[in-house]
Amino acid sequence: MPEAQVASEAQGAPAGARLSAPVVVPPGAWDELQAAAKSTAPMSPPPVRMRESLDPFPARGKAGGPARGPSDTDSGTEGGATIAVYGLVCYTTRVPSAGYVDLHCHLLPSVDDGAQTLEESLEMARALAGAGFSDVAPSPHAWPELPNAAAIEQQRGALQAAFSEAGIELSLHPNAENRLDAEFFERLERGESRPLGSGRYVLVEAPFDSPLPSLLDLIFRIKLKGLTPLIAHPERCHEFQGKGKRAAEAVNAGALLQLELGAPLGRYGPLARKVSERLLEDDLYAVAASDLHGPVGAERWLPEAIGFLETHGLHTALLQENPARLLQGEPLEFEGQPS
């Protein structure tokens, strides 16, 4: 993928996102939160376990090949063959369909900074289906200047119809990517949070380049509304990139974390890669998602990223079981405690 496109994907929320003031917790609110949490999602990490080292190219060491980037020029073949990565590591392409579920993807045409045309949407959808996805919850940015929820629903229906016509087997589900800003919390108060799937979880994003000291308060406010926040790509967000345990604190407060599929491959730079490795080692991610914004290179890097999760035994939890549960509004199963 050209550097320019990756840079565009890394933009995320624009500067100046408004963050709400610290929350004053009313008497009895913690009891309400605990009751809401019991009825929504558990408050500890999902049962994913690393099987091997997190080096995405475990066979690379001796030859010392360069780190992979979006502009790399791998060779590859389709239809279940293997992809050669510098002639050192082979990842098998996915056999459609592995039943993977993508909960973060900018697939709808002409609604945000994702697909710009129907043709791009179809190309992205073919790449997703070819990588093993059967279900996608397109997550257009829920910014006030962009199409509203009703318009998005229309677009989703139209794209699903286009898939039928094009013979693409991919089911689309409701979703949006919400900024953790004042506008979102105003919508939350009005019951317009734009949750994913059946409505018990909501995809939210923190600022990329600025801190979010009120993070735990914001999680608390979302939980009070009976929703569980799924925090998009924490490895790319300033608040989670320090040496502290901010991600663990967020999970302990009742949030879930979404890994950007391309992060462990270095698609978003060395810092995001390093943070993603740490969060994977700490078993803090609940799901992995593509956050696909365009079709360029997707047919190559999606199978490669999924191959990384497979190598470490994480694909079933992060791409199948957990995201399917979130889509259905079911709690995740955690080690050591009943769901």
Residue type at position 233: H
Tokens of 43: 């408050």
State the nearest-atom distance from the C-beta of 9 to Fe ion, in Å: 8
Q: Which of 9, 112, 135, 177 binds Fe ion (CB under 5 A)?
A: 177
Pick the piece of the chain touching Fe ion (CB under 5 A) from 143-151, 154-162, 171-179, 222-230.
Answer: 171-179
Binders of Fe ion: how many residues, by CB under 5 A? 2
Which of residues 102 and 304 has its CB atom nearest to Fe ion in the complex?
Answer: 102
Site track for Fe ion across 111-150, x = CB under 5 A: ----------------------------------------
Which of residues 177 and 321 has its CB atom nearest to Fe ion in the complex?
Answer: 177
Which of residues 177 and 299 has its CB atom nearest to Fe ion in the complex?
Answer: 177
State the nearest-atom distance from the C-beta of 291 to Fe ion, in Å: 5
Which of residues 57 and 201 has its CB atom nearest to Fe ion in the complex?
Answer: 201
9 binds Fe ion (CB under 5 A): no
State the nearest-atom distance from the C-beta of 231 to Fe ion, in Å: 12
Which of residues 291 and 310 has its CB atom nearest to Fe ion in the complex?
Answer: 291
CA 337 to chain centre: 25
281-320 binders of Fe ion (CB under 5 A): 291
Sequence-distant (6+) residues with CB within 8 A of 288 are: 258, 259, 260, 261, 309, 314, 318, 319
Task: Give the residues lining the site for Fe ion (CB under 5 A).
Answer: 177, 291
